[in-house]
Amino acid sequence: MSTADAQDLKLKKVGDAATLRIMSCELMKIGTYPEIQFAGVDATGVVWSVKVPQRSADRQLERLNLTYKTAVGQTLTISRSPNAQVPSKPFWDVVVADMPVTAQPFVSPSPAAPTSVDEPPLTRREQAAPPNIKREPGEKTSTLYARITDHVLTDIVPKYKAQGIPVTMEGTAAIVATVFIQANH
């Protein structure tokens, strides 16, 4: 498992996310603006690289009290979140994930036949219904994030899989990020 074999993962739109155990953080001078390439492994053992503008990476790591050196070995979720002032340019977010990387990449749900007679297909409303999770008073961000991730992996993802709807790492991370945002409002 080498960062030289990393597959490039582009996070472009709101909700795009990746959770990786970071193996390296390298300055890349490609184009006009310097970028930091975070390379890491997901739960399936696939090595991915995500390039984040250096200014954004610096701010996010500083907020987490991490450096490029101390980020190595951490499990981080790198994602894009809404920018109210310039909707076409989502913000970069980096959070420490308190749980092991366990998700698969996500592909958009497509209708599928039920896998058993006992379980009818999910309605569109059931597929889109967010869980009723709220931040408890005094709850740490990392605890809330871990609780949401556990809920998504144990309750939501199995429902999709039972219906034959493939769920990938990016999709799972996007579901977690969406629920996390809702839980904080």
Distance between CA atoms of residues 16 and 6, nearest Å: 18
What is the pLDDT at residue 2? 62
What share of residues in the chain are helix, strand, coil (percent, to 5)? 30, 25, 45
What is the pLDDT at residue 128? 44
What is the pLDDT at residue 76? 92
Distance between CA atoms of residues 71 and 22, nearest Å: 7
Q: What's the pLDDT tens digit per position in 39-76?
A: 998 877 788 899 999 999 999 999 999 999 999 989 99
The CATH code of domain 3-96 reads: 2.40.50
Structure tokens at 55: 């200014």
What's the predicted TM-score (pTM) here? 0.54
Report residues of the chain scoring pLDDT below 70: 1-3, 98-132, 185
